[in-house]
Structure 1
């Protein structure tokens, strides 16, 4: 068999190229730190790595979503902290103004302080998140959720939805509660609120205290409402009204100023001289006929403080009753705000837990990815040295072969 010089050269060059390719491949793996540089290096590992990489990207997206959710909840919680402080300040001011020692001028001055609190609360309710989105407007977050009316009252113009964000594959979390749930609602089971009303032309000066709970196991407690109406100077009628608005019972009793009266598991004290037609409505705090609007409560208290008494016992009684009602409503509103704050705090805690789970998941993905594509440097360096020796041997062999000639043996 004849072996030509060209054949020897081709075989030698092919061997050198093969050795150089293997040598460069190992060098590339060492430089990148990856065992699988190209899919052809390990097709199965490369395809699994694509799936793991996608899972890592999704996990990172959920982590970014949790950062956004935490920022929104933290801002809302900080606002509600200020709101609760403002409500406490308003309640303190009303307690102070329940005293008989203040003059009309004093009460008007205190009303200006209460109005400042009122304006502060409106500003807090219309807070933005720093990006121009209103925190408490629901999905309608491009405009202030609370609008001022011509009579200086406040109306909620947002929607009743709650903005949510997916913070994990199986968890959709509310990240901003709507303003109606915060400022115009109260938790269920908050007891009863009384509001007094004098008949037209009345000269009566009846005031109330309470109602206080006596027995919550009485049938209809928390559902029925009651209306106390004076039919004579020494007589009143208690009407029991069910949730449908139907009067289911009526009872006539003798009135004694300063004496407690019990009905429906409640106790109240009425004092003063009534006029025929004067009445007191006692509603469950979450009843449709009861006021649950924090702004309406403050507006009523401001109007009462700004009204001069002029020595009129009836107007003085109206002031005391209005302040008593407002204080009870402020207590209920404060409880609602604190409940919402607790809910936000619980969600912030949950974000911490989900973050920990996400971090563990991230470590698992990184470990899986490392097992699939990362390089074992010890074995790679050994193979690198071996390939280097092989390449040098191939180069030396080629150098020796190219110098061989039959003419050397003639």
Structure 2
């Protein structure tokens, strides 16, 4: 076959150009550290790398959501801690005010601090995060949750929903708290039932719920009352009445301790004897403690009854109303039994409010702990995914360096051969 000089020249040039292209490709991979720079390099590895990059991006988004959730939950927990500290201080002030050495003037001073603490609670309930969103508005984070009305009461205008963010492949976490549940849905009494003295009581009796009460009253319409009378020997005795309709009239009350015959009031001599500071069980699981000396009537059926104390179901009450009632008692109730009963009620209600806040803090703490575990899992997943991505697309530098040197040597040999072949001519030998 005849080989022309032009054909030999073109073939040599194409060979050198191809080798130079391969050298450039290898050099590009060495500089980038990637074995797969485009899908044609390794279609299977390229598809695998694309899937892994998507998975890595998803986990990184989970971590960003987790950082946002951590910031918001930490700020909520801090606000609740301050609210709990304020309530603890209010409780200390209530105990201080109940001391017999206090005067109406000093109690008014204590009331002024109580009201200032209430204002701080109001501000804490309207706390915001770094982006200006309210922490305790439920899912309505752009709406101020707590508003003061013209009458001085506090209204909640948020909702009871919460937003959730995804912090892991199978984990969503709430980042909001409902201010209604934290600040507006506290109880009264001991959380199961509440007690109160009758407005016309003339004795020194003070009533509190017994801590052992765990059953509570059957319904919000059920109520009990403890009445006092003196027997012929001057001993103070008590009887218990019950009604199924708290809004009903006198005919709706029945005697349950001691039981009466034919609906008539029980005989005083048959009623239990009153022991100051003793526990009175008004119903199964409903117990109260009455201290002091209540005023007793001549009989339980007397038209002018003696002192009476009521026991009703616990009602929802906001922490702001609880503090308001304490401040009002400090300002108006004086130093008598009405004042001490009001302070005792306030102490019980404050304890419930503090318990409510502590429960919310515990729930936030549990979410933060779960967030720690989820972030640790995400970090471990990122390590595994990045390793798999590296295996799929990263370059073996030792192999690539060897190949580059081999290709470079081949190019140099081709260039040397081309220069010699190009110089060959028959005219040199003629």
Structure 1 segments unaligned to the other structure (5+ residues): none
Q: Deviations over 1:129-180 (max 9, x none)?
A: 1211110001222222111112212111111112221111211111121111
1:58 counterpart = 2:83: no
Whole-Å separation in 2 of the counterparts to 1:347 and 1:104: 46
- Tell me, what secondary structure is at the counterpart of 1:176? coil
State the partner residue of 1:385.
Answer: 405
Matches within 5 A, 1:109-124: 109-124=109-124
Whole-Å separation in 2 of the counterparts to 1:9 and 1:248: 121
1:280 counterpart = 2:280: no
Q: Deviations over 1:160-209 (max 9, x none)?
A: 1122211112111111211111112349996544331434xx25345433
Q: Deviations over 1:22-53 (max 9, x none)?
A: 11111001000001112111111111111111
Structure 2 segments unaligned to the other structure (5+ residues): 231-236, 259-270, 297-303
How many pairs align? 394
Distance change >3 Å, CA 308–CA 321, structure 1 → 2: closer
State the partner residue of 2:324.
Answer: 299
Asked whether the 8 Å contact 2:65–2:166 carries over to 1, the reply is yes
Q: Deviations over 1:365-399 (max 9, x none)?
A: 11011001101111111001001001111111111
Matches within 5 A, 1:104-183: 104-183=104-183
State the partner residue of 2:206.
Answer: 208
Following TM superposition, by how much is the alpha carbon of 1:86 offset from its aligned partner in structure 2, in angstroms? Answer: 0.8
Asked whether the 8 Å contact 2:192–2:216 carries over to 1, the reply is no
Matches within 5 A, 1:256-267: 256=274, 258=276, 260=278, 261-263=280-282, 264-265=284-285, 266-267=287-288
- Tell me, what secondary structure is at the counterpart of 1:132? coil
Asked whether the 8 Å contact 2:166–2:173 carries over to 1, the reply is yes
Asked whether the 8 Å contact 2:192–2:213 carries over to 1, the reply is no
Distance change >3 Å, CA 256–CA 45, structure 1 → 2: same
Whole-Å separation in 2 of the counterparts to 1:395 and 1:107: 105
State the partner residue of 1:269.
Answer: 290
Length-normalised TM-score, structure 2: 0.84
1:228 counterpart = 2:253: no
Asked whether the 8 Å contact 1:12–1:398 carries over to 2, the reply is yes
Matches within 5 A, 1:188-199: 191-199=191-199
Which of 239, 242, 258 is residue 239 of structure 1 equivalent to?
A: 242
Say what the alpha-carbon RMSD is for the aligned residues. Answer: 2.7
Distance change >3 Å, CA 13–CA 333, structure 1 → 2: same
Whole-Å separation in 1 of the counterparts to 2:167 and 2:110: 47
Q: Which region of structure 1 is more displaced relative to structure 2, 255-264 or 80-89?
A: 255-264
Matches within 5 A, 1:316-395: 316-395=336-415
Whole-Å separation in 1 of the counterparts to 2:77 and 2:241: 43
Q: Which region of structure 1 is more displaced relative to structure 2, 207-216 or 378-387?
A: 207-216
Whole-Å separation in 1 of the counterparts to 2:104 and 2:229: 32
Whole-Å separation in 2 of the counterparts to 1:249 and 1:166: 57
- Tell me, what secondary structure is at the counterpart of 1:34? coil
Distance change >3 Å, CA 341–CA 188, structure 1 → 2: farther
1:32 counterpart = 2:48: no
Distance change >3 Å, CA 303–CA 188, structure 1 → 2: closer
Following TM superposition, by how much is the alpha carbon of 1:250 offset from its aligned partner in structure 2, in angstroms? Answer: 4.0
Asked whether the 8 Å contact 2:193–2:217 carries over to 1, the reply is no
Whole-Å separation in 1 of the counterparts to 2:145 and 2:69: 20
State the partner residue of 1:47.
Answer: 47
Q: Which region of structure 1 is more displaced relative to structure 2, 163-172 or 2-11?
A: 163-172
